[in-house]
Chain A
Amino acid sequence: MTLIDPSQQALTKWRFYIDPWLLFGILALACFGSIVVYSASDGDMAFVEAHLTKLILAMGIMIIAAQVPLGWYRQFSVPLYLLGLALLLGVMFFGEISKGAQRWLDFGVFRFQPSEIMKLAMPATIAWLLAKQSLPPNWSQLAIALLILLIPVALIVKQPDLGTAILVVVSGGAVIFFAGLSWKLITTIIALIAVSAPVAWHFLHDYQQKRLLMFLDPESDPLGAGYHIIQSKIAIGSGGLEGKGWRNGSQTQLDFLPESHTDFVFSVLAEEWGLLGVSLLLTLYAFVILRGLYIAWYARDSFGQLMAGAITMSFFIYVFINIGMVSGLLPVVGVPLPIISYGGTSLVTLMLGFGILMSIHAEHKRQAKRHYQS
């Protein structure tokens, strides 16, 4: 039996899915970000326009991604993962050769990095693997999941791109955590990392070691590598409760703050908008994150749950690492502030992640539709 007038049935064939709450949070952050970037770039509309163009393009991708049924992501996770792996190997073997040419030819707006594919394809593959059986995963599943995680990470670390490597580890690690990795194992892994840290030190590049040393004692080289951290802390601290006012931050406007419109954009915000502005920003982020967790909570199946949890967790870690690094809590690893920072190759991946999040939530409506149609 059907309750729908046959003439109306055509309408149910295609439905437009979007999560208004997520969209609202992202738009609010994007607007706030553009205002800050305008100030950080010394009132240069060209920067803001370029920033907005990238945001709008990326949000278009998000909206398209939200229309794709979740099953497709599950199906394409493994081929995408393998493609990403092949591209990473390609970068390793052929990146060097093409360098000379790439220096001369600049490929416009979006530069493509294979490691970006991994930020989504890798957690999706692990989620696909673990969701095939009931949770928590057994030993062999865990071993395979760990392998899926570590191979691309090793390749990215070799590139070398420490910031991206950390984010990729978080996205994959989050899936395994949400899938119910036992607390015993979690403690063991943390202990192992603590023990192996001194060993890892030797594998870092000179400039990476330098950054870590500077983080521990920035004052030791106030004009060299510690300069960024010191100036950034001055910018944040001098902002006070209410801030110095939009386009009035002396640290920003007199160029003491480095990379003010990209990685250090948070310091501009903190200087000019003060603790109140910071609170507003963190509230907006918290809003987006809570919505993400809500979607994960009510996701229809394990795959959706795991993906939604991992995407949300990664987003939070982005925010935490960036703010932590510009405020001197964490070493400078070159992670932009999501949605706010100018440009950034990771913007597309980020928005694609939100699109998948929306698609996970849309599964409820898709299911209802299927129910109707049958």
Chain B
Amino acid sequence: MMHFTARHTDSKKLVRHRLLVALLVMVIMMTILMLRMIWLQITHHEKYQELADGNRIRVEPIAPIRGRILDRNGIVLADNQIVHVLELHRDALPRPRTLEAVKAKLEQLSPYFSSLDETAIRNLSQQWARMNRHQPFIITRITETEAATFAVDEWKHPGFSINAVAQRTYPQGKRASHVVGYVGRTTIEDLKTLDPENYRNTDFVGRSGIEQSYEAELHGQTGLRYLEVDAKGRAIRELERIPPTSGKDLLLTLDLPLQNFAEDLLGNRKGAIVAIDPRNGGILAMASTPTFDPNQFVTGMSVQDYQQLIKDPTKPLLNRATQSRYPPGSTIKPFMGIVGLEANVITAKTRKYAGPSFEYKGMIYRDWKKEGHGMVDLDLAITQSSDVFFYELALDLTINRMDFGLQQFGFGEKTGIDLNSESAGLRPNPAWKRRVHNKPWYPGETIIAGIGQGYMLSTPLQLAHATATLAMHGKAFKPHLAQQAESVLEPITLKNPDHWQTVIDAMIHVMHAPNGTGKRGGALANTIMAGKTGTAQVIAFAKDAKYNADLLPEEQRDHALFVGFAPAKDPSIAIAVMVENGGSGGGTASPLAGLMVDFWLKRQTQTSNP
């Protein structure tokens, strides 16, 4: 006990010793500060006094005009409109410059402006303590007539003035809103990643879509204005001006009429349609429904409206073409066919018996067709979408060869499109399953992967991209929206290039043969097209259960899928269609693709022969 007390006293002494050291350090540091102050305020006082007296130049940033976004025909998708606003200049107000005085003044001004209502005044009150009192604050948007009327009397109301500012506007409204994106108010957090100097006077910054991914080019360079000010800080004249550099106009590969057509085809359904020009990777249409109106992000919306938008179960802000992942279902089969042919697991002539089901190690894998397809070769297996043929093919191919082959077509990889937050989909393999689920890979999983079910997930964009590559016999381009972003990818070369045609012929039969699953779409295309339907299961069924769409709630019904391209001989468009809970690929998705092809080819003849 004695010992403990003694040590305890030692501890106390030690800390006290250190406290003395700290005091000494603090005294030294305080002295440094005092010496610095004496150096600045006494020794060099005159120099700084002169500098302060000569400080008569104020620098003000001038915001650049944001670049526009245009479709391939030059139709404006994102524009800047000049709007008139009523501005408050707090440092020009007569004293006292209190909120109450400003409110009273606004009361007097309300006859001038119809929009100067309670909401505008409440907004001002909320911002009052936080706003920068040296920068004009926009009280409300006003009409041109109101601006003209007030201009006459403006001198009577110091601190209030009319200004014209450029505001982002999306003339197409809800059209192509996922592609174009929107801008939102610049926040302090934004300035941590953006160049604060260049964004000194920028109110809006790209938040999604092209607006976000091409922010650097659309924004432009902020200019500067050097103002001479009098002793009270009022600007006397402008000494020099470095004009701002406007942002670049961005020309997209998108065709607005085709985009509108695609959105109308989807209508009230949830889904996505992606159309690519396979000859260069340019996106012709990228529809995702439901859509939203980007204008409301610019003009501002209430917290309730915003909450409603992000909590909407149909997720209108989600770009289903690039961000949603779906099982590809049977649309994977043409690609499986090519991989199988190249691996010599099958030849174009290989015939297999495709009965009602496939049995492996005591497990039954059923075909979608109850009575089966009989003896089929690859052509017929694709035309009629035999499941059993591809179960067996997948098993013979093994998951690793399948995985490698599908990777070449871009499955499970980001396409690199010029939009942020693209999903990579999911291409399962044993290594992935070990890493994520810490479980071994089962052969049964290889079997169902053969028909694009199980873990496999892809985005509609990935499907369209893979189809475009197939259409071009392996020549691949990076999918892109801005014309400047065109770039060639490593092509897929086959040991036997005839395999391309074998599969493409089968895809033509899908569309035009009397037993083809996509014949309803083929009939609408008015050209020879190639395609493949897909119906992706959303939930698993018990062995004997029969799928009956009418008995299921909507969100458990199958997804309807389709991939294809046209004209089959000389492709100018590759398409992927996905309708969430839309039913069958042949019945729902393929007609949409057929109509898209018809619309696009007619548009091409119109534009080339006016």
Chain A contact residues, CB within 8 Å of chain B: 41-47, 50, 99-101, 103-105, 134-136, 160, 174, 177-180, 205, 207, 223-225, 231, 233-241, 250-251, 253-256, 270, 274-275, 278-279, 282, 286, 289, 293, 296-297, 302, 305-306, 309, 313, 316, 320, 323-324, 327, 329
Contacts and interface: CB of A to CB of B under 8 A. Distances in A.
A286 B26 CA distance: 9
A253 B306 CA distance: 40
B26 A237 contact: no
A81 B192 CA distance: 28
Nearest to A206: B195
B549 interface: no
B431 interface: no
Interface string B33-49: 11011101110110111
Given A42-B91, A42-B133, A237 B8 contact: no
Contacts of A286: 30
Contacts of A289: 26
Interface of B: 7-8, 10-12, 14-16, 18-19, 22-23, 26, 29-30, 32-34, 36-38, 40-42, 44-45, 47-49, 51-53, 55, 58-59, 90-91, 95-99, 128-129, 133-134, 184-185, 187, 189, 192, 196-197, 207, 224, 229, 231-233, 303, 306, 310
B528 to A, nearest CB: 46
A241 B14 contact: no
Contacts of B97: 42-44
A305 to B, nearest CB: 4
Given A136-B14, A234-B55, A99 B189 contact: yes
Contacts of A253: 233
B49 A238 contact: yes
B303 A104 contact: yes
B536 to A, nearest CB: 28
A329 B12 contact: no
A293 B25 CA distance: 13
A341 to B, nearest CB: 15
Given A42-B97, A234-B55, A255 B134 contact: yes
A275 B42 contact: yes
A296 B52 contact: no
10 contacts: A43-B95, A100-B207, A178-B19, A178-B22, A180-B14, A235-B52, A238-B51, A240-B49, A270-B40, A316-B26
Contacts of A47: 129
B304 to A, nearest CB: 11
B34 A282 contact: yes
A178 B52 CA distance: 45
Nearest to A238: B52
A329 B35 CA distance: 11
B150 to A, nearest CB: 26
Nearest to A180: B14
B32 A134 contact: no
A46 B99 contact: yes
Contacts of B99: 46
Contacts of A105: 303
Nearest to B229: A254
Nearest to A135: B11
Nearest to B191: A207
A237 to B, nearest CB: 3
A202 B96 CA distance: 50
Contact of A177 (B18, B30, B207): B18
Contacts of A207: 192, 196
B41 A236 contact: yes
